[in-house]
Amino acid sequence: MAHDTEVLVLGGGSTGCGIARDLATRGLGVTLLERGNLTHGTTGRMHGLLHSGGRYAVSDQASARECIEENRVLREIAGHCVEETGGLFVQRPEDPDEYFREKLQGCRECDIPATVLSGAEAREIEPYLTNDIERAIQVPDGAVDPFRLCVANAIDAERHGARIETHAEVIDLLREGDDVYGAVVRHESGPGKQAHARPGTTEEITADYVVNATGAWAGQIGAMADLEIAVRPSKGVMTIMNVRQVDTVINRCRPKGDADIIVPHETTAILGTTDDEVSDPDDYPEEQWEVDLLIDTLSELVPILRDARTIRSFWGVRPLYEPPGTGTEDPTDITRDFFLLDHAERDGVDGMTSIVGGKFTTYRLMAEQISDHVCEKLGVRGSCTTAEEPLPGSENLETLLAGMDDFGLRSPIARRSAKRLGSRSQEVLETDEPNPVICACEGVTRAEIRDAISQSGTDLNGVRIRTRASMGNCQGGFCCHAMANELSPEYEEPAVRAALDELFQERWKGERHALWGEQLSQAMLNYALHATTMNRDRDPAARSSALEGRGEDDGETTAAESIDYGAFDAGRGRSAESARERIADGRADAPSRRRDGGADGD
């Protein structure tokens, strides 16, 4: 029986997207399933460090070597996702000299370029570093945008014929005897890009081979086919600062510990992180002390962090894995290496391999190895080109930036947009239409928002991760609604409203962890704008929709159930009675449906 697809990849994080691209470019038919939008899991919840390998140079030199190699590869193939910030391992007076020596030694052994700087030299690079830095090791750390990187992988996979399904949750694996042959998926909104307020459907997708790249969720997927995969999810908190206090990655040079890294990321700096094992990757406590720990500890390196504004915090779950029987107690001791679990070899169940462990920087290498494995399984010959072929958006990047057009935009906005869009800038930003800025914090214009909508539909979180719109200091308070407006007229009013509500709540979720000082004032202003000025918290349309949902199939609501408009002031010298009458008349002269606006919403 012919299957729907040759390879079914589960998980739209970096690994899944990387595998989809790799296999698709080798000519295989690939379908990728992701339950949220791309990067919904761990990939979207990391600090964005492109490792030089320096962090592993003492404890795990194999990983360190992989990191520096992949670091070089990504600079080449994904220039528009990478910022070459450089990194410093800084030593405070109380940090051990011995470890500093080992770090430097390790870097050299692993072929990681490393230079020792005096404290003064380090502060010349980063003036906000504390005065009592003893010295530092400079390494080629970088910052990477995991969202854009995954999207670029997915776009390239699609260009090579892959099917990418987001908002498509795997609810079961198809297993017959000792053979896994596909998955049952529930589409939250119907196949294709997301459109709100459409009924969900389920679909069975059969495949010659299934790759479980769901990371911290791999155990849950395995369980659907009665396979035990002992991932040990470990949570870590990250706090986003409103501005970049540093332009270089700052690592604390001491043996493992919490709160030891600051990564400049786009317009922000991200503080990381902690390492605590959790039982359920979807449900774990997010607590005040974790955020406070980051700020207090890292302000030992960069003192102005103590009173600086944070705009949100988020937690990610590492997909740690160790082979059965290792028995490591402390999650920080668990290896960061990745494991390829062929369930045929391991459990005697054919048709599926799981990939667990690993780290973002080496996602491409992991994808290459598992793709080799799948090809071998399927008896397909195809060589990997992902280390050489630039990702979409990254082609000709140097030429673009050298002769950059400003597309009629203010210069820093043009610069930031071009960095995000890479070689697609021209195609997206060159427009005769008015192109106002929609998100002023991040400098995102209408053209870029519309381009993202063409990719992700009414999933405004998908638009957000593609453009950074709503990710600045107001956390969407001043632009969520303007972003949603761009969905119209392509999408109808109820869908736009649902999309806005979803984005607004998502933005709130992370901002809750930053609610003091300026961000609390911001939150109150956002709340006032959306509740007081727009009355979105008491939206009468939501009320009408709720009433409709209560079982009135014809969708008609009666005057008695909605607001009694007749009971309110109709203006001096005007009677509200006419409003009552009109309602009683069943609104006989409801507007005709016209092209310029009357068509939506009833």
Q: Which of residues 487-516 bind other proteins (CB under 8 A)?
A: 488-489, 492-494, 496-497, 504-505, 507-509, 512, 515-516
446 near other proteins, judged by CB under 8 A: yes
Up-side HSE of residue 595: CA atoms within 13 Å toward CB?
0
Nearest to 32 by CA among 13, 56, 57: 13
Nearer to other proteins, 339 or 508 (CB): 508
Q: Considering the rule CB under 8 A, would residue 551 count as an interface residue with other proteins?
A: no
List 4, 76, 121, 372, residue binding other proteins (CB under 8 A): 121
534 binds other proteins (CB under 8 A): yes
Does position 244 interact with other proteins (CB under 8 A)? The reply is yes
How far apart CA 76 and CA 385 sit, in angstroms, is: 13
Q: Which is nearer to other proteins, 221 or 480 (CB)?
A: 480
Residue 324 near residue 337, CB atoms below 8 Å? no
Q: How far is CA 583 from CA 19, 560, 586, in A?
A: 58, 9, 5
Least spacing, CB of residue 453 vs other proteins, in Å = 13
In 3D space, the residue among 210, 155, 180 whose CA is nearest the CA of residue 33 turns out to be 210
Report 257-276 residues binding other proteins (CB under 8 A): 264, 267
Q: Report d(CA 447, CA 48) in Å as an integer.
A: 26
* Least Å from the CB of residue 482 to other proteins: 4
**Torsion sign, CA atoms 105, 300, 42, 224:** positive
Q: Considering the rule CB under 8 A, would residue 557 count as an interface residue with other proteins?
A: yes
Q: Which of residues 316-375 bind other proteins (CB under 8 A)?
A: none
Residue found under tokens 């010295």:
135
Q: For residue 506, what are the contacts with CB-CB under 8 A and spacing of at least 6? A: 461
Rule CB under 8 A: choose which of 27, 382, 440, 455 binds other proteins: 440
Residues contacting other proteins: total by CB under 8 A: 140
- Please say which residue, 134 or 203, places its beta carbon nearer to other proteins: 134
Near other proteins in 449-488, by CB under 8 A: 472-474, 477-478, 481-482, 485-486, 488
Answer left, alpha or beta for residue 597, where phi above 0 means left and psi between -120 and 50 means alpha. Answer: left
CB of 102 to other proteins, least distance (A): 9
| Cα–Cα distance, 18 to 393 (Å, whole number) | 16
Residue 186 C-alpha from the chain's centroid: 21
Instruction: Work out whether 401 is an interface residue with other proteins (CB under 8 A).
Output: no
Q: Which stretch binds other proteins (CB under 8 A): 181-189, 239-247, 351-359, 362-370?
A: 239-247
> Which DSSP string do the residues of 252-297 spell out, in sequence order?
E-SSS-SS-EEEEETTEEEEE---EE-S-TT-----HHHHHHHHHH
Site for other proteins contains 197 (CB under 8 A): no
Other Cβ atoms less than 10 A from the Cβ of 200: the count is 12
Residue 415 binds other proteins, judged by CB under 8 A: yes
CB of 600 to other proteins, least distance (A): 4
Among 10, 117, 164, 349, the residue binding other proteins under the rule CB under 8 A is: 117
Neighbour count for residue 395 (Cβ, 10 Å): 16
- Residue 255 touches other proteins, criterion: CB under 8 A: no
Strand ranges inside 73-200, DSSP E: 82-83, 87-91, 115-118, 135-139, 142-144, 163-165, 168-176, 179-187
Does 383 bind other proteins (CB under 8 A)? Our answer is no
Counting contacts by CB under 8 A, is residue 37 touching other proteins? no
Paired with 314 in beta bridges are 238
Q: Which helix (H) or strand (E) holds 493?
A: helix 493-511
Question: Which amino acid type is present at position 206?
Answer: T
With respect to other proteins, which residue has the nearer C-beta, 334 or 495? Answer: 495
| C-beta separation of 51 from 359 below 8 A | yes
Residue among 324, 411, 553, 560 that touches other proteins (CB under 8 A): 411
Of 276 and 518, which has the nearer Cβ to other proteins? Answer: 518
555 binds other proteins (CB under 8 A): no
By CB under 8 A, residue 579 contacts other proteins: yes
Residue 247 within binding range of other proteins, rule CB under 8 A: yes
Nearer to other proteins, 396 or 578 (CB): 578
The interface mask with other proteins, positions 72-101, x = CB under 8 A, is -----------x-------------x--xx
Residue that has been written with the tokens 């407006």 in this structure: 485
CB of 173 to other proteins, least distance (A): 33
Residue 524 as a binder of other proteins (CB under 8 A): the answer is yes
Residue 279 or 592 with smaller CB distance to other proteins:
592
Query: Rounded to whole angstroms, how far apart are CA atoms 203 and 207?
Result: 13
437 binds other proteins, rule: CB under 8 A: yes
d(CA 248, CA 129): 11
396 vs 521, beta carbon nearer other proteins: 521
CB of 336 to other proteins, least distance (A): 25
Work out which of 72, 198, 256, 587 binds other proteins, going by CB under 8 A.
Answer: 587
Q: How many CB atoms lie within 10 A of CB 161?
A: 12
Q: Which CB, 127 or 323, lies closer to other proteins?
A: 127
Taking the least distance from each CB to other proteins, the nearer of 203 and 600 is 600
Q: Shortest distance, CB of residue 508 to other proteins, whole angstroms?
A: 4
Residue written as token pair 């059965």: 324
Q: How many angstroms separate the CA atoms of 231 and 213, rounded?
A: 12
For residue 68, report the phi and psi dihedrals to the nearest 5 degrees.
-65, -35
Residues 297-316 that bind other proteins (CB under 8 A): 304, 307-309
Could you tell me which of 444, 494, 448 has the C-alpha nearest to residue 470? 444
173 phi/psi in degrees, rounded to 5: -100, 145
Q: Which of 73, 116, 230, 380 binds other proteins (CB under 8 A)?
A: 116
Question: Residue 388 Cβ, how far from other proteins at the closest point, in Å?
Answer: 29
Nearer to other proteins, 102 or 172 (CB): 102
| CB 545, min distance to other proteins, A | 7
Can you give the C-alpha Rg of the chain in angstroms?
26
Phi, psi (degrees; rounded to nearest 5) at 405: -85, 150
**563 forms part of the interface with other proteins (CB under 8 A):** yes
